[in-house]
Amino acid sequence: MATKQEFKFASATCGFKKTKKPDLAIIYSDIPCTYSGVFTTNQIHAACIDTNKGLLKKRKKIKAIVINSGNANACTGKKGINAVKETQESTANLLKIKPDEVLIASTGGIGIHLDMAKMRKGLEKAVVNLNANNLKAAAKAILTTDRFVKIVTRKTKDFNLAGFTKGAGMIYPNMATMLCFFMTDLNVSQDLLQHALNISINESFNNISVDGDMSTNDMVILISNRQNKKEIKSKDDPAYRNFQNILNQSCIKLAKEIVIDGEGAKKLINVLVGGARTKNDAKEIARSISNSTLFKCAIFGSDPNWGRAVSRIGWAGVKIDPAKVDLFLNNTQVYKKGSPVEFNKVKLNRQIKKSKEVKVTVNLNLGDKSASAFGCDLSYEYVKFNSAYFS
Active site residues: 177
Distance CA 19, CA 142 (A): 13
**Residue 137 contacts residue 11 (beta carbons within 8 Å):** yes
Looking only at the bridges linking them, the beta strands covering 8-12 and 24-39 are antiparallel
Q: How far apart are CA 239 and CA 233, in angstroms?
A: 10
Q: By the 8 A CB rule, do 286 and 272 touch?
A: yes
CB 283 within 8 A of CB 374: no
Sheet holding 339-340, edge to edge: 208-209, 369-376, 268-276, 357-363, 326-329, 332-336, 339-340
Report the distance separating Cα 75 and Cα 86, nearest Å.
17
Check residue 81 and give left, alpha or beta (phi > 0: left; psi -120 to 50: alpha).
Answer: alpha
Burial status of residue 45 (CB atoms within 10 A of its CB: 0-12, 13-18, 19 or more): buried
Write the DSSP symbol of residue 46: -
Contact 226, 186 (CB under 8 A): yes
Q: Is 109 helix (H, G, I), strand (E, B) or coil?
A: coil
